[in-house]
Structure 1
Amino acid sequence: MSPLALPHTARVVPRPSGPALRAMPRHATGMATLAPGLQVLAGDHDFFRHFGGSSADLCGRHLFELLHPSAPAVLREHFSRLHDGRRTRFTERVVGYRSPDHVFSGELTGTAIQGRSHRLSAIVVLIKPDDTRFQGAQPAQRTLLSPLEARILEGVATGASTQELAGKLYLSRQGVEYHVGSMLRKLKAPNRAALVARAYAAGMLTVGTWPAAVRPDFVK
């Protein structure tokens, strides 16, 4: 993806209309327009609020600078497919930075905008944070992990496969899947990406370091 020159005109995001608008999630959903190279061109109030900055702070920055390194590798593939026309829209789980020491989990939706030549001219992204009731859980309600679960969660957060975790921790593939399934139930997460996102949102994983580690106070 080649970067696009950033305009110095008004940074206003045009709101879609018609079916496209009805298909978009609401309720504190932030919206921004990206150049094909994924630099932020413009955004609305909620988008900047979610990432803890202003238009002056965030416009011109690459989207991946605003996301935690735990962002699924498949996210790059999603954007690549928008760029070359293999798809027009996607939704993926992400973890974003609100400040250097605070993250939030949520869903990011990307939609391709084509120009007159039918080539990608921009990408509209929507970011919808998860329910704040989960993010605001008090220590008394915190979920505790066993030392083995903590090591598996750290591996999942770095993108390790079941086979890689099994070899590293001297477990069977079924053993790894059993513990992953247990954590999915504990955190009420539907899949591994959501598990990592919710673990960050609950404060289980360290922020600002990579690879992330489970904080000791979340281990039994």
Structure 2
Amino acid sequence: MAEAALRRGKRLPESAEPGTGMVELDGDLVVRQVNGAFAQLFGTTPDDVIGTPFPDWFLPAVRQTLRRELAELAAGRRDGFDERLACPGPFFADVTARPLPDGGLVLLVRPAEPAPVRLGDLDAQILEGLAAGEPTVRIAMRLYLSRQAVDYRIGAMLRKLEAPSRAALVSKAYACGVLCPSQWPPRVAPHAREN
């Protein structure tokens, strides 16, 4: 109870932009202060956010990169951080971070509406196979396609998601919320399928 009272004193004021979350982190990327808008984005309260590692509020596919880049910013090896990140829900957020003199960081988190990635049934099945580690020939046989047809569809998805390789395609599909992060075998999320 005393801890909750202590946390109530560590809330940041609400931003002038409605729905914009504000967060202050220490050098270890743990939340020191937060406003109510940030907590609302993630469906919780400020008391539940304070004292937690900031990257843990985002999808597993982006946590490691987020930790690394924010740590570089806190250490002074970067000037700033401006990225669109996938969050649980699924939703996307534009995250802007700037360093503080004491080695901490201050961040603004704005909900964003990205252009939704939608895949047809055939592309969804191919992506699920790629994410499961299936070779192209096996995907082709399972879907009654030629290997060249599968390669063509993968190439189209690489361009659509702006990924440089097949591994990056799968990674970006997880980061964008196209693939469900907690399912095995991999499945394309219902919101990412064309009807």
TM-score range, shorter chain: 0.5 to 0.7
CA shift, 1:196, in A, is 4.5
The residue that corresponds to 2:109 in the other structure is: 127
The residue that corresponds to 1:11 in the other structure is: 10
Give the number of equivalent residue pairs: 170
CA shift, 1:126, in A, is 1.6
Q: Which runs of 5+ in 2 are unaligned?
A: 138-146, 163-167
The residue that corresponds to 2:165 in the other structure is: none
Query: What's the TM-score, normalizing by structure 1?
Result: 0.59
The yes-or-no answer on 1:80 pairing with 2:71 is yes
Alpha-carbon distance between aligned partners in 2 of 1:207 and 1:127, rounded to the nearest angstrom: 22
The residue that corresponds to 2:36 in the other structure is: 45
Match of 2:120 among 136, 144, 168: 144
Percent identity, aligned pairs only? Answer: 21
Instruction: Check the 8 A contact 1:105/1:197 in 2, yes or no.
Output: no
Instruction: Check the 8 A contact 1:69/1:210 in 2, yes or no.
Output: no
CA shift, 1:150, in A, is 3.7
Alpha-carbon distance between aligned partners in 1 of 2:184 and 2:97, rounded to the nearest angstrom: 26
Change (3 A) 1:111 1:105: same
Match of 2:136 among 148, 160, 169: 169
> Between Structure 1 and Structure 2, whose CA radius of gyration is higher?
2
Across the aligned residues of Structure 1 and Structure 2, the Cα RMSD in angstroms comes to: 4.0
Alpha-carbon distance between aligned partners in 1 of 2:41 and 2:120, rounded to the nearest angstrom: 28
Alpha-carbon distance between aligned partners in 2 of 1:49 and 1:29, rounded to the nearest angstrom: 10
CA shift, 1:184, in A, is 3.1
2:158 aligned partner, one-letter code:
G
The yes-or-no answer on 1:179 pairing with 2:156 is yes
The residue that corresponds to 1:70 in the other structure is: 61
Alpha-carbon distance between aligned partners in 1 of 2:76 and 2:113, rounded to the nearest angstrom: 33
Change (3 A) 1:212 1:70: farther
The residue that corresponds to 2:27 in the other structure is: 36
Instruction: Check the 8 A contact 2:14/2:36 in 1, yes or no.
Output: no
Change (3 A) 1:216 1:90: closer
Change (3 A) 1:182 1:62: same
Once the two structures are superposed, residues 114-146 of structure 1 have per-residue CA deviations (whole angstroms, 9 ceiling, x without a partner) of: 13xxxx1x21122222228x67x9xxxx64242
